[in-house]
């Protein structure tokens, strides 16, 4: 009886240890934008202007990520962003809703192991917006680069990409937008992690303040299930720097399906 109890206890401990190892390994991969994973993040973003009676714009980003083996040495990591926007209108009308401009990012990543991962490539923006009020009307492109360092509890690094418009509607304003996607994720254990940062942008076409810098916190919970692992993210950020009249608070809720 005692031997059976000891054996059952050891078996449970072994299974639990493997489960925690599985969670930890998958957490590290999900925190690395260059990991060889196929995922489908569904990210709901809320941009609130407290100076305008808490007027809020919502953006649902459908963001499939998939990798393609190019050679023994290189992998192409593909990231697609399909935004669906609901935005208040300046003329006092209720709102405008629809699909906005599609963004593609492609990163060449070396097939190496170790704590450092880097990738380089390009981004492409397509004026697929259903309404000119939520579309730039411009084709855009530019370089993209990123680097990530992964340790036992911390992932740190980021992505940088530039969007310069090169074609499209001549009557629409040109696009010159730099996006910095910082990565700082600390793993707390049990599938939990947190990050204090969100996307930083620099819009060279604006007059006055051109930077948008959000600071806050987001929490992530990884649920490892038998079918499809699920990664949940919730965050709130105050824009400590932002253009005049722009929203000053942003929040997000994300569900990430891992295949």
Query: What six digits make up the tokens of 81?
Result: 């962003």
**Element of type H or E holding 196:** strand 192-197
Cα 204 to the chain's mean position, in Å? Answer: 22
* Rg, Å, the chain Cα set: 21
pLDDT of residue 222: 95
Q: What is the chain's pLDDT, residue by residue, as a tens digit (259 residues)?
A: 444 444 433 333 333 334 334 567 899 999 999 999 999 999 999 999 998 889 999 999 999 999 999 999 999 999 999 999 998 876 556 788 899 999 999 999 999 888 999 999 999 999 998 888 889 999 999 999 999 999 999 999 999 999 999 999 999 999 999 999 999 999 999 999 999 989 999 999 999 999 999 999 999 999 987 778 999 999 999 999 999 999 999 999 999 999 8
d(CA 133, CA 82): 16
pLDDT of residue 78: 97
pLDDT of residue 18: 40
> Total domain count for the chain?
1
CA atoms lying within 13 Å on the CB side of residue 241:
12
| Long-range CB contacts (within 8 A, 24+) of 114-117 | 115/149, 115/150, 115/151, 116/147, 116/148, 116/149, 117/32, 117/34, 117/35, 117/147, 117/148, 117/149, 117/150, 117/157
- Beta carbons within 8 Å of 14's beta carbon, 6+ residues apart: none
d(CA 156, CA 116): 10
pLDDT of residue 113: 84
Q: Which domain does 141 fall in, by range?
A: 2-258
pLDDT of residue 121: 97
Cβ atoms within 10 Å of 203's Cβ, excluding its own: 17
In the chain, what's the furthest Cα-to-Cα distance? 83
Hey, is 49 helix, strand or coil? strand
CATH number at 133 reads 2.40.160.40
C-alpha to C-alpha distances, 185 to 157, 240, 253, nearest whole angstrom = 9, 20, 16
Cα end-to-end span (Å), the chain: 42
d(CA 169, CA 136): 9
Cβ atoms within 10 Å of 252's Cβ, excluding its own: 19
Cβ atoms within 10 Å of 119's Cβ, excluding its own: 23
Instruction: Go through the chain and tell me how many residues it has.
Output: 259
């Amino acid at each position: 009886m005692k031997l059976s109890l000891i054996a059952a206890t050891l078996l449970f401990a072994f299974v639990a240890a493997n489960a925690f190892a599985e969670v930890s390994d998958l957490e590290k991969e999900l925190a690395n934008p260059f990991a060889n994973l196929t995922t489908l993040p569904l990210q709901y973003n809320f941009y609130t202007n407290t100076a305008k009676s808490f007027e809020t714009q919502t953006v649902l980003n459908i963001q499939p990520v998939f990798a393609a083996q190019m050679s023994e040495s290189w992998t192409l990591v593909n990231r697609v962003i399909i935004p669906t926007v609901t935005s208040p209108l300046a003329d006092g009308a209720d709102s405008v809703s629809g699909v906005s401009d599609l963004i593609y990012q492609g990163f060449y990543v070396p097939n190496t192991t170790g704590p450092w991962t880097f990738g380089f490539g390009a981004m492409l923006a397509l004026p697929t917006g259903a309404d000119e009020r939520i579309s730039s009307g411009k084709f855009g492109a530019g370089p993209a680069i990123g680097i990530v360092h992964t340790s036992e509890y911390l992932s740190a690094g980021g992505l940088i990409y530039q969007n310069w418009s090169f074609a499209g509607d001549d009557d629409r304003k040109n696009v010159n937008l730099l996006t910095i996607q910082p990565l700082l994720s600390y793993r707390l254990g049990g599938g939990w992690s947190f990050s204090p940062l969100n996307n930083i942008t620099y819009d060279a076409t604006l007059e006055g303040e051109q930077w948008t810098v959000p600071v806050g916190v987001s929490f992530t919970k990884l649920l490892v299930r038998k079918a499809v692992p699920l990664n949940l993210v919730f965050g709130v950020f105050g824009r400590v720097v932002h253009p005049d009249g722009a929203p000053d608070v942003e929040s997000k809720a994300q569900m990430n399906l891992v295949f």
